[in-house]
Homo-oligomer: A and B are copies of this chain.
Amino acid sequence: MRAKLRETGLDGFIIPRADEHLGEYVPESAERLAFCTGFTGSAGLAIVLLDQAAVFSDGRYTLQLETETDAALWERLHITENPPETWLKAHAAGQKIGYDPWLLSADALDRFTGVKLMAVASNPVDEIWADRPAPPMAPAVPRVLALAGEDSAAKRTRIATILAEAGQDAAVLTDPASLAWLFNVRGTDVGFTPIALGFAILNADASATIFMAGAKLPPETRAHLGNEVSTAERAALPAALAALAGKTVRYDPASMPVWFKTTLEAAGAKISEGVDPVALPRACKNEAEQAGARAAHLRDGVAMTRFLCWLAEAAPGGGETEVSAGEKLLAFRAMGENFRGESFPAISGAGEHGAIIHYRVSEESNRAIKPDEVYLIDSGAQYLDGTTDITRTVWTGPGPAPAAVKEHVTRVLAGHIALATAVFPEGVAGPHLDAFARNALWQAGLDYDHGTGHGVGAYLSVHEGPAGISRAAKTVALKPGMILSNEPGYYLPGAYGIRLENLLLVQNAVFPASKRKFLCFETLTLAPFDRALIEPALLTPAALEWLNAYHKRVLAALGPLLEAPVLAWLQAATAPI
């Protein structure tokens, strides 16, 4: 790598964990950070200088970073406490530092100052990566209208109107999930998210061009795209951007590779900054997508209930482990119709492992699920008709749960219910509701160090923008049709972790006497909360009423779909408290 840098006259190079779409999951061909450093975490960045190097990640990966990387070669640093830009400025002031303009957003690049930044035409990591995997070539497949609920032409017309109203002639789209929604296609290029990697230019007349390897676009997909959508190889992108000379083009400096910005500017196009115009419409699920989500959650509820029933019998000393439990749940899910895989790597954490918020069990960390402890499982599935994400926290028994644990769980549950039952006027955004989910914990001097909720796609990414429920989330007003998670928690390091997660669907709340428009949440997820961990005296009468009504609904919905022993277990698990 250093020889390659010297060859090209560079004093250093920035290697982010990113592909050209700057998303959460990347194909193996883009795992440059892992290739260079050995670090396989999902977020990080390395900087290689001629005589020193550093690799950065966040608190989730502190241990993994130290285990996977060589201290003799790499300084290992916390990415927010010791930001790469500070390190670079201190160690390479004034030097020529290379970067791949496809792998950094304009905003990310702007944070690096005090050095001479040089975009490379060819990534030097790729040049030394002899056995680099080929980029994925899975086909993009059409999404039927019955599931999409709106055809691509109508969607493109809607987004084109947004562009026209903003005085923009075109928008570049770099998020494959935006392509997936806009053109009603899905793919299997990366894990967990059913997307086909590609780029697009959408014009203000609703026509569009998709830039994707021809091999990924079989005839039926081309036919599905229609006449107003042309396709081209990615190599055609520079010429297509050059053709936008004199045009006003929407571009998001926060989420899109800086390559687009520099190429558009060089071509003489006028950049109009704006977020991905697809993000907000995509987040507001239509009736068909809402119906799909409900159907998927019914199946997911059946799988979760079978799993929880199995766990109740197997867990207390049955020799099961974090890994085997996760596999069992996956097997139950795989029995469901339309199952396409997990929506993210499951978090299966027993006892103290539950307190590690982003715990991912490995062969080394795997341990038995023991009697009389807290077990947390956070998992989700991709079904053709919807994406799920659920967390349950259970007491393995057979003894009773300690009062302190029950108090913690019940405070988390009280927050979960407060958010689930929130009613709020139009204009309210996630940051304004986040405290509802924390209030019961705050009153006891407790809190959790993660957001309360993230957006969830319709057979798309389980982490979807633009809305979220946390103080750090953007103040994007919640709109009917948005799906968001409701997942307050509490973590006692070294002891146990608690998280109670359902997905919420934003709905109109009807007050006939009110002139204002109000919204509320419909809870999509269907699975019981563990009664063994609930202290009813700590819930208000209204909260207890919600819990009993929810359990009644779970039983009514899932009961007819369950075999007798599981049904019997669920009847007991959902009996009124």
Contacts and interface: CB of A to CB of B under 8 A. Distances in A.
Interface in A382-435: 422-425, 427-429, 431-435
Interface in A510-531: 511, 513-514, 516, 518
Interface stretch (A31-39, A224-232, A351-359, A443-451): A443-451
A436 interface: yes
A146 interface: no
Contact of A432 (B423, B434, B443, B516): B434
A516 B491 CA distance: 13
A511 B442 CA distance: 10
A509 interface: yes
A471 interface: yes
Contacts of A475: 431, 471
A476 to B, nearest CB: 13
A490 B95 CA distance: 62
A435, A444, A516, A518: residue with the most chain B Cβ atoms closer than 10 Å: A435
Contacts of A427: 471
A94 B169 CA distance: 26
A540 interface: yes
Contact of A431 (B423, B432, B446): B432
A446 B514 contact: yes
Contacts of A447: 425, 516
Nearest to A511: B445
B425 A442 contact: yes
A486 to B, nearest CB: 15
Interface in A483-519: 509, 511, 513-514, 516, 518
B431 A514 contact: no
A292 to B, nearest CB: 30
B428 A435 contact: yes
A490 B511 CA distance: 16
A471 B518 CA distance: 16
How extensive is the interface on chain A, given as a class?
20 to 34
A444 B540 contact: no
A447 B540 CA distance: 24
Contacts of A438: 424
Nearest to A433: B435
A446 B442 CA distance: 26
Contacts of A431: 431-432, 475
B435 A423 contact: no
Contacts of A511: 444-445
A445 B540 contact: no
A403 B436 CA distance: 29
A442 B518 contact: yes
A429, A438, A445, A471: residue with the most chain B Cβ atoms closer than 10 Å: A445
A422 B445 CA distance: 11
Nearest to A540: B540
Interface in A526-547: 540
Contact of A443 (B423, B435, B513): B423
A23 to B, nearest CB: 27
A342 to B, nearest CB: 33
A516 B445 contact: yes
B445 A509 contact: yes
A442 to B, nearest CB: 5
A571 to B, nearest CB: 32
A475 B474 CA distance: 12
Contact of A471 (B432, B439, B443, B446): B432
Contacts of A425: 442, 447
A567 to B, nearest CB: 35
A545 B435 CA distance: 23
B442 A424 contact: yes
Contacts of A423: 442-443, 445
Contacts of A436: 435, 439
Contacts of A444: 511
Given A423-B443, A445-B518, A428 B471 contact: yes
A434 B434 CA distance: 11
A429 to B, nearest CB: 8
18 contacts: A423-B442, A423-B443, A423-B445, A424-B438, A425-B447, A428-B435, A431-B475, A432-B434, A432-B435, A432-B471, A433-B435, A442-B518, A444-B511, A445-B513, A445-B514, A445-B516, A445-B518, A471-B475
Given A423-B445, A428-B435, 5 more contacts: A424-B442, A425-B442, A428-B471, A444-B511, A445-B513
Interface of A: 422-425, 427-429, 431-436, 438-439, 442-447, 471, 475, 509, 511, 513-514, 516, 518, 540
